[in-house]
Amino acid sequence: MKLPPLIYNSIGKFFFFILLELACILLVMNNGDVQKSRIMNRVRSFQTFFWKINTSVKNYTNLKKLNAELSQENAKLLSLNTLYKEQIIRQQGEQKLEELTAAMRQNLGDSTLTNYRFVLAKVVKNTINTEHNYLVIDKGREDGITEDLGVITPSGVVGIVRAVGAHYSYVLSFLNQKQHISAKVGQSQALGTLLWEGKNIKGAVLTGIPLSEDVKQGDIVYTSGSSAFFPPDIPVGYAKTSTIEDGIHKRVDVELILNYSTIDYVIVVKDLARAEIEALINDNR
């Protein structure tokens, strides 16, 4: 179909106008620092809006899988709960279990019993294809998020909050060569440093394990809790093969439990004791 010359001409003029205006805006951005930062802010807010839509669609299509994972998690927690109950009954009797359960129910929701506060957040943007990956989550300063908070899921460590906006936060992913996590492995809970080497998103390495420690294939790697970012005992991965590093340490290949490509929701961890600990360290330096 041929367009009438008037419409054809108008479209041409419109595109020429857009072209010139874009050239002008690029010039303004390159020559005015204030204008550049303001324009980039606007562009980023548009980007976030589209990421949000994109993620909503992805989350919706992923619901079936998410449900299955949650059911699995639930089943795992139920079996753990039963195990703990049986242990208490075996060691201290049924009466003690009832007392403990009653006390727990009474204190349920009393957040002063724990050192951690958890904030659930939705992932708006998640990169996994570069050597320096990041996430954007939909909770920010107004939700009580601050910089340097740990971000986890029940099946692993996600990263650390590095920048906070009013409603969104930028999380430096664990899939980042700058990111190191304190972790423990095996029966003896030997401490080491878990890091991502940038090779694939399913694997990491645990370094600095003393030679005397025995690490078996299939041993679970947990967060140690000695860093200020993450609570202890979050399962991170399974030990695979171990090699000797520099003749003094063991280096263990770890298969990560968390699938970083399908993270929909994360938990931001606020360690309430952290400020006190940091103040103590600073005072005694």
Instruction: Indicate the residue among 113 and 166 with the shorter CB distance to other proteins.
Output: 166
Number of residues that bind other proteins (CB under 8 A): 21
Contact flag: residue 39 with other proteins (CB under 8 A): yes
Instruction: Indicate the residue among 13 and 58 with the shorter CB distance to other proteins.
Output: 13
Q: How far is the CB of 12 from other proteins (least distance, A)?
A: 8
Question: How many of the other CB atoms lie within 10 Å of CB of 231?
Answer: 17
Interface with other proteins (CB under 8 A), residue from 3, 11, 38, 131: 38
- Do residues 127 and 172 lie in contact, with contact meaning Cβ atoms separated by under 8 Å? no
Q: Which stretch binds other proteins (CB under 8 A): 11-19, 94-102, 112-120, 245-253?
A: 11-19
Site for other proteins in 135-154 (CB under 8 A): none
- The token pair at 18 is 């857009």
DSSP of 230-274: S-TT-EEEEEEEEEEETTTEEEEEEEESS-GGG--EEEEEEETTH
Dist. CA 116–CA 282, nearest whole Å: 22
Q: Which stretch binds other proteins (CB under 8 A): 14-22, 72-80, 175-183, 223-231?
A: 14-22
Q: Which stretch binds other proteins (CB under 8 A): 20-28, 71-79, 234-242, 249-257?
A: 20-28
Contact flag: residue 43 with other proteins (CB under 8 A): no
Contact flag: residue 11 with other proteins (CB under 8 A): no
Contact flag: residue 244 with other proteins (CB under 8 A): no
Instruction: Indicate the residue among 30 and 111 with the shorter CB distance to other proteins.
Output: 30
Residue whose C-alpha is closest to residue 201's, from 235, 237, 171, 252: 237
Token pair 């009013």: residue: 166
Contact flag: residue 163 with other proteins (CB under 8 A): no
Interface with other proteins (CB under 8 A), residue from 8, 17, 49, 50: 17
Within 8 A by CB and 6+ apart from 106, the residues are: none
Instruction: Indicate the residue among 9 and 71 with the shorter CB distance to other proteins.
Output: 9
Contact flag: residue 70 with other proteins (CB under 8 A): no
What residue ranges in the chain does DSSP mark as E strands? 116-126, 132-137, 150-153, 156-164, 169-176, 180-185, 190-195, 203-210, 220-223, 235-245, 249-256, 265-271
Within 8 A by CB and 6+ apart from 268, the residues are: 118, 119, 120, 121, 137, 139, 145, 149, 150, 151, 161, 169
In the complex, the residues that contact other proteins under the rule CB under 8 A are 12-13, 16-17, 20-21, 23-28, 30-32, 34-35, 38-39, 41-42
